[in-house]
Every structure is written in structure tokens, then in C-alpha cells.
Amino acid sequence: MRELLEFLARSLVDDPASVAVEQFDDDDGTVVLELTVGEDDYGKVIGRGGRTANALRTVLKAAAVREERRVLVDIVD
């Protein structure tokens, strides 16, 4: 799932080298992914009204269902 988020985020931003994803595993099996992008690219990742961010979360939740896990995506500034 981490690789999927990196791929999607790098496809959206102008500076793909600045994309970083950190993964944390909670005790209850939840995977927390923290996405960091370049300062100028936050708007592209979040999207108008948060639509792009919600779409990223939806895709990752669908991938998590296949692995029978739960995932949370945080966009860190």
C-alpha cells in the first residue's frame, strides 16, 4: 500500500522527488500512511475541496480490503 500511495502521489505532483511516505503499524492492525510532498504541491495532492485527497484515500482503502487490513492516509505539511 505504501508503494501504491507513492506512485499515485508522484503522478500528481510537479516534483516527484519530494514525495515521501512513512508507514506506521498500530496495535489493532491499522496501517497509518503519512504523505509528505513539496511545499508547492500540497494543493495538487489535496485538490479542490479535498476531492483528490478523498480519491487517494478511497483507492488505498480498496487495496487494504484485499489484504484484509485497515488503512489511514494523513497528508502532512
Half-sphere exposure for 63 (CA within 13 Å, toward CB)? 16
Whether residue 36 has pLDDT greater than 90: yes
Range of the domain at 42: 2-75
Find the CATH number of the domain harbouring 42: 3.30.300.20
Work out the mean pLDDT of the chain and round it to a whole number: 94
What's the pLDDT score for residue 11? 95
Domain count, the chain: 1
What's the pLDDT score for residue 77? 82
Quick check: 40 and 14 in contact, CB under 8 A? yes
% of the chain at pLDDT higher than 90: 91
| pLDDT tens-digit series, residues 22-35 | 999 998 889 999 99
